[in-house]
Structure 1
Amino acid sequence: MRNWILPEYISDVLPAEARQIESMRRRMLDQFALYGYEQVEPPLVEYVESLLTQQDAALDLKTFKLVDELSGRQMGLRADITPQVARIDSHILNRQGVARLCYTGSVLCTRPDGLLSTRQPRQIGAEIYGSASLAADVEIIELMFASLAQAGVKDITLEVGHIGLFNAIADAAGWQGEVRQTAFSALKQKDVPTLKTLSAQLNPELTQGLLALASNYGDFTVLAQARRQLPNLPAITDALEGLSQLHAALSARGIAVRFDLAELPGSYYHTGLVFNAYAKGFTNAVARGGRYDSVGEKFGRSRPATGFSIDLRGLTAVPFAGPKAGILAPQGDDPELLSAIRGLRAQGEIVIVDLGVVQSEVHVDRTLQQNAGVWQVISL
């Protein structure tokens, strides 16, 4: 039996990658703290109804489920940490003002997001609860860029959309259930033939608006074009105005924006602004986020919320220097040797005691040797 083989899209994290992931995690958490975010650590497993917000079929499909032998209830292994943080904000912290929370941890998915993805991402993210303001969305995006910079990600392209545009047209069309989900998926994939088929029975204004969502992509001029092409519905007017204000606020911070009105999230709990960050050298988005104002409703306290998440394992393509070379020291009980090793480690040096080291397998460039009764560091 080849019992060392792992399941598909599941892999070990080996030393070099583990060092890089941990280094990025620490730097990002420190960055979050500078903005006033407090870290929470939800459990890996919960009752399944707590892990699924609203009627989120996509998240339900990605969640591994099992039976709790103590209670007999169905439990789930988290596939997304955001619903857990929403539960903490809504039902445990119960703060009246704005709460800035962050998290990091592994999630497990029944299927990968893409051919090059893992089913066990290492997720890190930050979220703001209790503020529906544009300023909260701007802060989250600014923090996302600062966090990616900590990981060495450069040349970032921010693509922004708004799920309210699709929802307004779907509501006006009276779409529910499977039809609405089919239209959602078709728009996300820019599948124009399917969109034409679905909208064949709609009035021309709604049909034109739906097809316009699939074709409007580019800089700030996209919004002016969308105002001409989309139906004159209050929700659409509000969404486009919000995107216009977001563009102005991000431009003032030196963040360029590209608009994609077919940019839709992978989960159904988002309610407004959605955004993805892309970078040169990466196949998938390096960070994702948006607004999800009703995510806490299931826990009895619906609060406006906005945030982003990053898969740290997805960022390991960024060049990483790794640790500096260490010092190889002999084993022994000589008090002066032990004192020299402790002193070097106190100075931040990596000291590896030789218990049978093969030098080609460890990163050392010096050795600790005794010379005239004194322990000295000698270059190899």
Structure 2
Amino acid sequence: MPNWLLPENIADVLPSEARKIEELRRRLLDNFRLYGYEMVMPPLLEYLESLLTGAGQDTDLRTFKLVDQLSGRTLGVRADMTTQVARIDAHLLNRASVTRLCYAGSVLHTRPTGLHATREPIQIGAEIYGHAGLEADAEIQELALNSLALAGMRTIRLDLCHVGVLRAIIANDAAAKRDEAQLFALLQAKDVPGLQEITATYQEGTRAALLALPNLYGDISVIARARITLPALPGIAQALDELQALVELAAGHEGAAVTIDLADLRGYHYHSGVMFSAYVPGLPNAVVRGGRYDHVGEAFGRARPATGFSLDLRELARLMPGAERKRAILAPWGRDAGLREKIAQLRQAGEIVIQSLPGHEHDQDEFDCDRALDFSNGNWIIKNLG
């Protein structure tokens, strides 16, 4: 095997693509800052039990594991940064007030999460801790949509769900609660025959509600249909009210089409309230995933309401137009003090100045050198190259 080959679904990022990713990262982090989010940098490795605390089984399966040569304990390479940030909020910051945190960094997956997906995403996200109200969910949803707009996405489909619906349906049915994990998988797959089989022994009302969920998807009218079709339980009413409010807020975002899918329960065991996914043309997978996860902090010994979202910068950058070559100034290589001073002044002013090495005066593939430094009348001046 040639020694330059990389593992499957692992790839180098070349200059033009790397520049797109980095510029997008800076743009999003600067925007997070405008909302009051503070940046944190969790470690790439943690003890496995800490890394998986509060996470679901899917995170365990996606996590690379290895043995620490210093302690002999099992380490995990992070597959998701959300629980790490929750740990930072719960233990290191330990604030009583509302805390807004953001992050950006590589994560590693044992398997790709979708068609053509990389196993080394660059994850960026934002989280709010300490507020259980719908206002935090609304802010996170707005920030997620604005992030896609900053990446140039003009057509966005926002898909909303709420785990409170399923939990309210099965709360008073012991058989249904026993089969919760199986119900979750069948609903996510919209496997109606499987649902019919597993619910045969359930209470009549529970069975009817579960069989109705796979068909409760579509535009905002789904909420009204759900109020008629599903049992009049307080938990269901609260979940539908929250979805209604968030749909109305998202509808005001230019280019966003909002859909409801009450059976789309990805991350069901991880989340505790509203969940959302965002889709854009050109990608088969959701480009943004987010929602409320109030119970993760409990696993770290400090219960904190929490909601947030994350996205993969590499995947999103692939949809953006190719980066234009940056304008630059070409300068000769030399020891002249005036030349070095002029180059330093231009770079301090934000100009890209490339000193051409002898014999390589025209090797500037990634830059458009439309100007050059020229020595004239005892001064170094900028000359247009046409």
Give the structure-2-normalised TM-score. Answer: 0.92
Does the 8 Å contact 1:104/1:125 carry over to 2? yes
Q: Secondary structure at the match of 1:352?
A: strand
Structure 1 residues 96 and 323: CA distance shift in structure 2, 3 A: farther
What percent of counterpart residues are identical? Answer: 54
Cα distance, 1:50 vs. partner?
1.0
**8 Å CA contact retained: 2:107, 2:123:** yes
Equivalent position of 1:379 in the other structure: 384
Q: How far 1:222 moved relative to its partner? A: 0.6
Give the Å deviation of 1:223.
Answer: 0.9
Q: How far is 1:369 from its partner? A: 2.7
Distance across 2 between alignment mates of 1:294 and 1:45 = 23
Q: Deviations over 1:32-70 (max 9, x none)?
A: 111111111110110111111336211110111111121
The alignment covers a number of residue pairs equal to 379
Question: 1:77-96 deviations in whole A, cap 9, x for unaligned?
Answer: 10110100110111111111
Tell me whether 1:367 sits opposite 2:369 in the alignment.
no
Task: Return 5+ residue gaps in structure 2 as ranges.
Answer: none
- 2:270 maps to 269
Give the aligned partner of residue 353 of structure 2: 351
CA distance in 2, matches of 1:81, 1:55: 11
CA deviation after TM superposition for structure 1 residue 144, in Å: 1.2
Structure 1 residues 246-284: Cα deviation after superposition (integer angstroms, max 9, x where no partner): 334444667653211122224631111000111223222
The structural deviation recorded for 1:114 is 0.6
Task: Quote the offset at 1:360 in angstroms.
Answer: 6.1
Counterpart amino acid of residue 299 in structure 1:
F
Equivalent residue, structure 1, for 2:2: 2
SS of the aligned residue for 2:326 comes to coil
Distance 1:183 1:267, change over 3 A: closer
Residue pairs, 1:163-182, within 5 angstroms:
163-171=163-171, 172=173, 174-175=175-176, 179-182=179-182
The aligned residue for residue 127 of structure 1 is: 127
State the alpha-carbon separation in 2 of the partners of residues 155 and 108 from structure 1: 29
2:333 to 331, 334, 340: 331
8 A contact 2:52–2:59 mirrored in 1: yes
> Contact between 1:105 and 1:124, CA under 8 Å: does it hold in 2?
yes
What is the rounded CA distance, in whole Å, between the counterparts of 2:361 and 2:170 in structure 1? 65
Match of residue 296 from structure 1 = 297
Distance 1:200 1:12 in 2: 52
Query: How far apart, CA to CA, are the structure 1 residues paired with 2:277 and 2:252?
Result: 20
Q: What SS class does the counterpart of residue 160 from structure 2 fall into? A: strand
Q: Indicate how the Cα distance of structure 1 residues 271 and 146 shifts in structure 2: closer, same or farther if over 3 A, else same.
A: same
**Aligned-partner SS, 1:174:** helix
Distance in 2, Cα, partners of 1:253 & 1:311: 22
> What's the CA shift for 1:194?
1.9
Residues 349-369 of structure 1 deviation map (CA, whole Å, 9 limit, x = unaligned)? 211111235436242233323
1:287 aligned partner = 288
CA gap 1:23/1:37 in 2 versus in 1, 3 angstroms: same
Correspondence list, 1:51-66, <5 A: 51-54=51-54, 56-66=56-66
For residues 316 and 73 of structure 2, what CA distance do their matches in structure 1 show? 37
Which sits farther off after the overlay, 370-379 or 279-288?
370-379
CA apart distance, 1:181: 2.6
CA distance in 2 between counterparts of 1:357 and 1:149 reads 40
CA contact under 8 A between 2:156 and 2:257: conserved in structure 1? Answer: no
Residues 126-145 of structure 1 show CA distances to partners (whole Å, capped at 9, x for unaligned) of: 11111110111001111111
SS of residue in 2 equivalent to 1:319: coil
- State the distance in 2 between where 1:374 and 1:337 align: 9
- Comparing 31-40 with 166-175, greater Cα deviation is found at 166-175
Q: What does residue 50 of structure 1 align with?
A: 50
Q: Distance in 2 between matches of 1:26 and 1:109?
A: 24
Q: CA deviation at 1:372?
A: 4.2
Cα distance in 2 for residues equivalent to 1:310 and 1:322: 24
Question: Which letter does structure 1 place at the counterpart of 2:247?
Answer: H
2:163/2:268 contact within 8 Å kept? no
Paired residues of 1:101 and 1:128 also in contact (CA < 8 A): yes
Compared CA separation, residues 13 and 253, structure 1 to 2 (3 A): closer
* 2: CA distance, partners of 1:362 / 1:334: 27
Give the TM-score of the pair, scaled to structure 1: 0.93
Cα separation, 2, equivalents of 1:155 and 1:137: 22
Q: Distance in 1 between matches of 2:199 and 2:362?
A: 68
Question: Judging changes above 3 Å, is the alpha-carbon distance between structure 1 residues 357 and 47 closer, same or farther for their aligned structure 2 residues?
Answer: farther
Q: Match of 1:220?
A: 220
Q: In the alignment, is the contact (CA less than 8 A) between 1:58 and 1:267 conserved in 2? A: no
